[in-house]
Protein backbone atom coordinates (compact mmCIF):
# COMPACT_ATOMS: atom_id res chain seq x y z
CA UNK A 1 0.00 0.00 0.00
CA UNK A 2 2.87 2.43 0.76
CA UNK A 3 4.21 2.09 -2.79
CA UNK A 4 0.82 3.08 -4.22
CA UNK A 5 0.66 6.23 -2.07
CA UNK A 6 4.13 7.32 -3.17
CA UNK A 7 3.33 6.61 -6.82
CA UNK A 8 0.17 8.73 -6.69
CA UNK A 9 1.96 11.68 -5.11
CA UNK A 10 4.73 11.49 -7.72
CA UNK A 11 2.09 11.69 -10.48
CA UNK A 12 0.41 14.65 -8.82
CA UNK A 13 0.93 18.38 -8.90
CA UNK A 14 2.35 20.65 -6.25
CA UNK A 15 2.17 24.30 -5.28
CA UNK A 16 5.20 26.41 -4.40
CA UNK A 17 6.07 30.05 -3.76
CA UNK A 18 8.71 32.06 -5.62
CA UNK A 19 10.08 35.56 -5.24
CA UNK A 20 8.70 37.78 -7.97
CA UNK A 21 9.56 41.42 -7.17
CA UNK A 22 10.91 43.34 -4.22
CA UNK A 23 11.54 46.98 -3.58
CA UNK A 24 12.36 48.84 -0.38
CA UNK A 25 8.86 48.58 1.10
CA UNK A 26 6.96 45.91 -0.83
CA UNK A 27 7.35 42.21 -1.62
CA UNK A 28 5.61 40.37 -4.46
CA UNK A 29 5.53 36.58 -4.58
CA UNK A 30 4.22 34.11 -7.16
CA UNK A 31 2.16 31.06 -6.17
CA UNK A 32 2.95 28.48 -8.85
CA UNK A 33 1.40 25.08 -9.70
CA UNK A 34 3.01 22.18 -11.54
CA UNK A 35 5.11 19.07 -11.10
CA UNK A 36 8.78 18.80 -10.08
CA UNK A 37 8.95 22.62 -10.09
CA UNK A 38 7.90 22.76 -13.74
CA UNK A 39 4.81 24.89 -14.12
CA UNK A 40 2.06 23.37 -16.24
CA UNK A 41 -1.18 24.97 -15.18
CA UNK A 42 -2.78 27.13 -12.54
CA UNK A 43 -4.31 25.88 -9.29
CA UNK A 44 -8.02 26.26 -8.53
CA UNK A 45 -8.30 29.51 -6.59
CA UNK A 46 -11.35 28.19 -4.69
CA UNK A 47 -9.07 25.65 -2.97
CA UNK A 48 -6.35 28.15 -1.97
CA UNK A 49 -5.71 30.43 1.01
CA UNK A 50 -2.59 32.42 1.82
CA UNK A 51 -1.24 33.98 5.00
CA UNK A 52 1.63 36.23 6.03
CA UNK A 53 3.11 35.57 9.46
CA UNK A 54 4.62 38.92 10.38
CA UNK A 55 7.85 39.28 12.37
CA UNK A 56 5.86 40.42 15.43
CA UNK A 57 3.94 37.11 15.45
CA UNK A 58 0.69 38.47 14.01
CA UNK A 59 -0.96 36.73 11.05
CA UNK A 60 -2.50 38.49 8.03
CA UNK A 61 -4.69 36.96 5.33
CA UNK A 62 -3.35 37.59 1.83
CA UNK A 63 -5.25 38.16 -1.40
CA UNK A 64 -4.48 35.89 -4.35
CA UNK A 65 -4.31 38.05 -7.48
CA UNK A 66 -4.71 36.04 -10.71
CA UNK A 67 -1.78 36.50 -13.10
CA UNK A 68 -1.16 35.03 -16.55
CA UNK A 69 0.37 31.78 -15.29
CA UNK A 70 0.25 32.01 -11.50
CA UNK A 71 -1.23 33.92 -8.59
CA UNK A 72 0.46 37.02 -7.18
CA UNK A 73 0.70 37.75 -3.45
CA UNK A 74 1.83 41.16 -2.21
CA UNK A 75 2.62 42.55 1.20
CA UNK A 76 4.33 45.56 2.70
CA UNK A 77 7.60 44.66 4.37
CA UNK A 78 7.14 47.43 6.90
CA UNK A 79 8.01 45.38 9.98
CA UNK A 80 11.60 44.57 10.91
CA UNK A 81 12.38 40.85 10.80
CA UNK A 82 11.50 37.84 8.67
CA UNK A 83 8.04 37.37 7.16
CA UNK A 84 6.84 33.78 6.63
CA UNK A 85 4.32 33.43 3.80
CA UNK A 86 2.27 30.25 3.63
CA UNK A 87 -0.12 29.12 0.91
CA UNK A 88 -2.57 26.35 1.75
CA UNK A 89 -4.39 24.11 -0.75
CA UNK A 90 -7.37 22.47 0.95
CA UNK A 91 -7.52 18.73 1.39
CA UNK A 92 -8.62 16.61 -1.52
CA UNK A 93 -9.56 12.92 -1.71
CA UNK A 94 -8.06 10.93 -4.56
CA UNK A 95 -9.29 7.47 -5.61
CA UNK A 96 -7.50 5.13 -7.99
CA UNK A 97 -9.79 3.03 -10.19
CA UNK A 98 -9.26 0.92 -13.33
CA UNK A 99 -10.46 3.98 -15.29
CA UNK A 100 -7.79 6.26 -13.75
CA UNK A 101 -7.52 8.67 -10.84
CA UNK A 102 -10.73 10.36 -9.65
CA UNK A 103 -11.32 13.13 -7.11
CA UNK A 104 -13.92 12.44 -4.46
CA UNK A 105 -14.73 9.91 -1.74
CA UNK A 106 -14.48 6.16 -2.33
CA UNK A 107 -18.29 5.82 -2.13
CA UNK A 108 -18.69 7.69 -5.45
CA UNK A 109 -16.74 5.20 -7.54
CA UNK A 110 -16.66 1.47 -8.32
CA UNK A 111 -13.63 -0.81 -8.09
CA UNK A 112 -11.49 1.59 -6.05
CA UNK A 113 -8.01 0.11 -5.48
CA UNK A 114 -6.71 3.02 -3.40
CA UNK A 115 -8.23 6.06 -1.69
CA UNK A 116 -6.34 8.74 0.20
CA UNK A 117 -6.55 12.38 1.18
CA UNK A 118 -3.80 14.91 0.62
CA UNK A 119 -3.26 18.47 1.77
CA UNK A 120 -0.64 20.78 0.29
CA UNK A 121 1.17 23.73 1.78
CA UNK A 122 3.89 26.00 0.39
CA UNK A 123 6.09 28.15 2.59
CA UNK A 124 8.55 30.92 1.79
CA UNK A 125 10.61 32.84 4.31
CA UNK A 126 11.29 36.45 3.34
CA UNK A 127 14.37 37.17 5.46
CA UNK A 128 15.23 40.37 7.23
CA UNK A 129 18.52 42.09 6.58
CA UNK A 130 20.03 40.28 9.56
CA UNK A 131 19.51 36.51 9.61
CA UNK A 132 20.26 36.49 13.34
CA UNK A 133 16.69 37.70 13.96
CA UNK A 134 15.12 34.56 12.45
CA UNK A 135 13.75 32.05 14.94
CA UNK A 136 12.64 28.87 13.17
CA UNK A 137 9.37 27.44 14.50
CA UNK A 138 6.26 25.57 13.42
CA UNK A 139 3.97 28.24 12.02
CA UNK A 140 0.95 26.66 10.42
CA UNK A 141 0.89 23.17 9.01
CA UNK A 142 0.15 19.63 10.07
CA UNK A 143 3.38 18.64 8.33
CA UNK A 144 5.97 21.40 8.25
CA UNK A 145 9.67 21.82 7.51
CA UNK A 146 11.43 24.38 9.69
CA UNK A 147 14.87 25.56 8.52
CA UNK A 148 17.56 26.53 10.99
CA UNK A 149 18.21 29.73 9.01
CA UNK A 150 15.99 31.91 6.86
CA UNK A 151 18.12 31.29 3.74
CA UNK A 152 20.92 29.05 2.46
CA UNK A 153 23.58 29.59 -0.20
CA UNK A 154 23.85 27.21 -3.16
CA UNK A 155 26.44 24.55 -2.36
CA UNK A 156 26.27 25.03 1.41
CA UNK A 157 24.88 22.60 3.96
CA UNK A 158 21.23 23.15 4.91
CA UNK A 159 19.83 21.92 8.22
CA UNK A 160 16.08 21.65 8.63
CA UNK A 161 13.72 19.92 11.04
CA UNK A 162 10.50 18.17 10.00
CA UNK A 163 7.44 18.30 12.27
CA UNK A 164 4.17 16.39 12.14
CA UNK A 165 1.37 17.77 14.31
CA UNK A 166 3.95 19.88 16.17
CA UNK A 167 6.30 17.00 17.07
CA UNK A 168 9.59 16.08 15.34
CA UNK A 169 9.03 13.45 12.64
CA UNK A 170 11.65 10.68 12.70
CA UNK A 171 12.60 8.40 9.79
CA UNK A 172 10.78 10.41 7.10
CA UNK A 173 12.10 10.51 3.53
CA UNK A 174 12.66 14.11 2.38
CA UNK A 175 13.20 14.81 -1.31
CA UNK A 176 14.80 17.94 -2.75
CA UNK A 177 13.74 18.94 -6.28
CA UNK A 178 15.79 21.33 -8.42
CA UNK A 179 13.84 23.93 -10.36
CA UNK A 180 16.73 24.24 -12.82
CA UNK A 181 16.88 20.49 -13.46
CA UNK A 182 13.16 19.79 -12.99
CA UNK A 183 13.87 16.60 -11.09
CA UNK A 184 14.73 15.13 -7.71
CA UNK A 185 18.33 15.92 -6.77
CA UNK A 186 18.62 14.59 -3.21
CA UNK A 187 16.93 12.20 -0.82
CA UNK A 188 17.61 12.22 2.93
CA UNK A 189 15.98 10.54 5.90
CA UNK A 190 15.23 12.47 9.08
CA UNK A 191 16.94 11.39 12.28
CA UNK A 192 15.26 10.79 15.65
CA UNK A 193 14.84 14.58 16.14
CA UNK A 194 13.17 15.06 12.77
- 183 has a pLDDT exceeding 70: yes
pLDDT in tens, 27-38: 899 999 998 888
Among residues 135, 134, 60, 120, the alpha carbon closest in space to that of 87 is found at 120
Give the residue extent of every domain in the chain. 2-189
19 C-beta neighbours (distance < 10 Å), count:
11
- Say if residues 160 and 148 touch (Cβ distance below 8 Å): yes
- 158 has a pLDDT exceeding 50: yes
Q: Please provide residue 59's backbone torsions phi and psi, each rounded to the nearest 5 degrees.
A: -120, 135
> Between 155 and 41, whose confidence is greater?
41
pLDDT in tens, 26-76: 889 999 999 888 888 888 899 999 999 988 888 999 999 998 899 999 988
Amino acid sequence: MQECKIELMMQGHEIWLENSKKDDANVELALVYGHNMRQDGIADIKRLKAFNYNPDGSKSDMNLIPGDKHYILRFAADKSGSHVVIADMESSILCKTPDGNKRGPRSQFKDVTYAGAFHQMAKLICPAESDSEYKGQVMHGILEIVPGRSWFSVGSDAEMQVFYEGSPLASADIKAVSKKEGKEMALVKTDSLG
